Structure 1
Amino acid sequence: MKVRQQPFYTRLAYVLISVVIIIYGMYILKDLLIPLTFSGLFALLLLPVSQFLEKYGVPRWMAIFISILMALSFFCLFCYMIYVQIIDLEEVLPQLTEKAEKWYRSFQLLIRDTFHISRTKQRIEGQKYLTELLKNNSSIITNTLSTTTGLLGNLTLIPLYVFLLLLYRDFIRVFFYKALKPVSNHRVDVVLKKVKDVIVNYVVGLIIVIGIIGILNTLGLFIMGIEHAFFFGFFAAILVLIPYIGVAIGSLLPIVFALITKDSAWYAFGVAALFGGVQFLEGNFITPYVVGSKVSVNSMAAIIALIVFGNLWGLSGLVLALPITAIIKVLFDSIESLRPYGFLIGDADHNDVKKWRVER
């Protein structure tokens, strides 16, 4: 009996409904999915360390524990270094207060001379609008704080999730064998290896990019005589975790610092020009050649992924958007019926397009 294929519009409706359900579920379950996703990425990164220790006879649970302990030690050391740098910035607080008061008085004088509003009336009106703003947005502030607190609480579970994912990795692999029974075990292993490789290569490439950008930022700030150049340079570099806009966001702090500590505003313009140049190099040369060769996702797909995951999961979504998209591409490329979609989100290769046109 010949099976009748459903019309295109019916299949399209099924796809759209499924996408809506998946996106809605991702939003509702974000407090669970965000730490689980981070845990999965960290588990893939720590897997080689755990396997190395197990190779020399260390029990699996102990090898996993040592791996997580090493990762937490590096993280605590990193946080301590940031804390030390922030403490050093306390000496700038008096200058910041003095400069802010000076700007505030200048702004008041500008308003008085332009709109003929006395400084007393400005202060009264400002207090009134501030009170109304806090009153109207108190619920938003409360919800934001409660959401942030809940998310931070869930993030503390990441070490536990990582431990369990690594401990039961063979069990999870067998689950995929059973769930994808029509597919050979070898093919499942190949796809899982591709997913692991793309994540590990992406993170390694990202670390290299952070190092390059941090060095460029630090050298530029040091040449201009900006204090704490190392902190500001690598702080902006770390924000490369947020693709396309991370370096621009990281430049705001050194620009403000230059305005406060330097007598001329040209230093701030110099800092802005420096970070603008580094942003250009990062977006057009450094990241495409270092990370782009490891994660084949085109710019349009990356931007759409940033918007979607940013709206779904906030800052965490911006960080996770590119690796999740890379995993989705690996899965699409591994399924015959979904390969066109994998091609669509992949890095645009004009030679492949021309070759396809010739063959057609």
Structure 2
Amino acid sequence: MNQLPLTVKRSIELMGLCLLCVLILVGKAIIMPLIMAFFVSIVLLPVYRFLKKGRLPDSLAILLSILLMIVSGIVVIWFFSIQLSSLLVDFPQIKKTLLLHLRELSEFLGQKTHYSTQQQLQFFHEQNAKLLNATGDLLRQVATSLSSVFVLMGLMPIYVFLLLFYKNLLVRFVFLWFSAKDHNRVEEALRETESIIKSYLIGLLIQIAFIIVILGGTLQLLGIPHALLIGIILAFLNLIPYVGIFMGTFIGLFIILASSQELLPIVELIVVVVVVHFLDQNILRPRVVGSKVRINALTSIIGVVIGGHIAGVSGMFLSLPIIAILKVIFDRTDMFAKWGVLFGDENPVHSPMQKLALRIWKRS
């Protein structure tokens, strides 16, 4: 490989990258649950090790760790369902409020444009027919997604159990791929990968709690309807880097518009979201995640888009930790070290066009 021309090496790397993307697209139904189970098993490792100190058998320690995960998931779903049920109880009032807003919008358009109420109604019926067709397609996609979710929920505990049970076998398999002189680098990469995943996912759990308590509590004090539900939606959508906060804010605005005839709650929501997001990104996130996931914004956004295209919401959520793990691997290999530089956030102060030393990669 070292004897090949540089252009051939780069071409092989790009072909390998394209082949990897194709494999993920074709086998995402199998690969994505495995990746998610891998991340969950890393998070459960401290619990498993703690139980092992109590001299529990491997299988029992793993089962208790998985049981803790399942109970935590049930509590989250129960809390969300309570908040959602309150929204469904107010559905008749929400319907009236939406009709009122539509009527006001129709009167505004009638005053500012040449479209009459009849023309607006005709346009509305035409768009409604298109919307119904699109909704039918969306419902079919949701049904497919739900079936995938149920399959994932069934497979996840099995995958997590097997990954934890055979962890020593899997680690040995990784070491066997490398010569003895590279084992120190491999061990360093494995330990840093574990640290990155734990820091990132545990940090996200802290972020979720922070946003629900601070944002939802503030909106509750301001008297905004369904404040906790908006806080939960924003907290979980915030897990999707860069894009999630806008999606959550849009959904929150829609809930407020559907529940209130006043504009003040909308302004309050936007102000509270901006303040909480600023505190989250500049104070909380750097402390709970630290400097473990150091990926530049360009790579992060491209990774989120590609992850969403390949595997939907789960791909968007997993994109950053996957890129961070790839960077750890790339930084420790001579062949792919340049990709590690591309993924990182160490932006040179000087241009490589003027500073010749920046054109040469050196291992730190």
Bin the TM-score by the shorter chain. 0.7 to 0.9
Aligned to 1:92: 90
Query: What amino acid is the match of 1:76?
Result: I
- Determine helix, strand or coil for the equivalent of 1:64: helix
Q: 2:306 is matched with which residue: 308, 315, 340? A: 308
How many Å apart are 1:82 and its aligned residue? 1.0
- Determine helix, strand or coil for the equivalent of 1:337: coil
How many Å apart are 1:115 and its aligned residue? 3.4
Matches within 5 A, 1:129-148: 129-131=127-129, 134-135=132-133, 140-141=137-138, 144-145=141-142, 147-148=144-145
Which is worse superposed, 99-108 or 61-70?
99-108
Residue-by-residue CA offset, 1:294-342 (whole Å, 9 max, x unaligned):
2122222211211111111111111001110111111112213322321
Query: What amino acid is the match of 1:230?
Result: L
**Could you tell me how far apart the structure 1 residues matched to 2:350 and 2:115 are?**
66
- Determine helix, strand or coil for the equivalent of 1:256: helix
How many Å apart are 1:237 and its aligned residue? 1.9
**Could you tell me how far apart the structure 2 residues matched to 1:143 and 1:230 are?**
30
Matches within 5 A, 1:18-97: 18-97=16-95
Q: Is the 8 A contact 1:44 1:196 kept in 2?
A: yes
Residue-by-residue CA offset, 1:111-151 (whole Å, 9 max, x unaligned):
556435453x654554445435655x589547624641452
TM-score, normalized by length of structure 1? 0.87
Aligned: 1:115 with 2:110: no
**Could you tell me how far apart the structure 2 residues matched to 1:122 and 1:274 are?**
35
How many residues are treated as equivalent by the alignment? 355
Q: 1:321 is matched with which residue: 319, 322, 346? A: 319
Aligned to 2:151: 154
Q: Percent identity?
A: 27
- Determine helix, strand or coil for the equivalent of 2:56: coil
Q: 1:269 is matched with which residue: 267, 270, 292? A: 267
Query: What amino acid is the match of 1:78?
Result: V
**Could you tell me how far apart the structure 2 residues matched to 1:261 and 1:186 are?**
59
- Determine helix, strand or coil for the equivalent of 2:346: coil
Q: Is the 8 A contact 2:239 2:317 kept in 1?
A: yes
Which is worse superposed, 44-53 or 146-155?
146-155
Residue-by-residue CA offset, 1:200-253 (whole Å, 9 max, x unaligned):
011122223333333331343134222443342243123221112322322234
Q: Is the 8 A contact 2:216 2:232 kept in 1?
A: yes
**CA 1:264–1:307 in 2, change beyond 3 Å: closer, same or farther?**
same
**Could you tell me how far apart the structure 1 residues matched to 2:130 and 2:48 are?**
56
**Could you tell me how far apart the structure 1 residues matched to 2:350 and 2:172 are?**
37
**Could you tell me how far apart the structure 2 residues matched to 1:83 and 1:236 are?**
15
**Could you tell me how far apart the structure 1 residues matched to 2:195 and 2:2 are?**
40
Q: Is the 8 A contact 1:215 1:234 kept in 2?
A: no
**CA 1:324–1:171 in 2, change beyond 3 Å: closer, same or farther?**
same
**CA 1:264–1:331 in 2, change beyond 3 Å: closer, same or farther?**
same
**CA 1:112–1:209 in 2, change beyond 3 Å: closer, same or farther?**
closer
Q: Is the 8 A contact 1:205 1:294 kept in 2?
A: no
How many Å apart are 1:35 and its aligned residue? 0.6
**Could you tell me how far apart the structure 2 residues matched to 1:116 and 1:198 are?**
57
Query: What amino acid is the match of 2:280?
Result: E
**Could you tell me how far apart the structure 2 residues matched to 1:33 and 1:44 are?**
17
Q: 2:170 is matched with which residue: 169, 172, 177? A: 172
Matches within 5 A, 1:219-298: 219-298=217-296
Q: Is the 8 A contact 2:97 2:261 kept in 1?
A: no
**Could you tell me how far apart the structure 2 residues matched to 1:83 and 1:352 are?**
53
Which is worse superposed, 344-353 or 189-198?
344-353
Query: What amino acid is the match of 2:114?
Result: F
Q: Is the 8 A contact 1:217 1:234 kept in 2?
A: no
Q: Is the 8 A contact 1:35 1:154 kept in 2?
A: no
**CA 1:214–1:129 in 2, change beyond 3 Å: closer, same or farther?**
closer
Query: What amino acid is the match of 1:32?
Result: I
List runs of 5+ in structure 1 lacking aligned partners: none
Aligned to 2:340: 342
- Determine helix, strand or coil for the equivalent of 1:58: coil
**Could you tell me how far apart the structure 1 residues matched to 2:227 and 2:117 are?**
42
Aligned to 1:214: 212
Residue-by-residue CA offset, 1:81-138 (whole Å, 9 max, x unaligned):
111122222342222111112223334445556435453x654554445435655x58
**Could you tell me how far apart the structure 2 residues matched to 1:73 and 1:64 are?**
14
How many Å apart are 1:176 and its aligned residue? 1.2
How many Å apart are 1:19 and its aligned residue? 1.3
**Could you tell me how far apart the structure 2 residues matched to 1:187 and 1:4 are?**
20
List runs of 5+ in structure 2 lacking aligned partners: 359-364
Q: Is the 8 A contact 2:95 2:258 kept in 1?
A: no
- Determine helix, strand or coil for the equivalent of 1:115: coil
Query: What amino acid is the match of 2:302?
Result: I
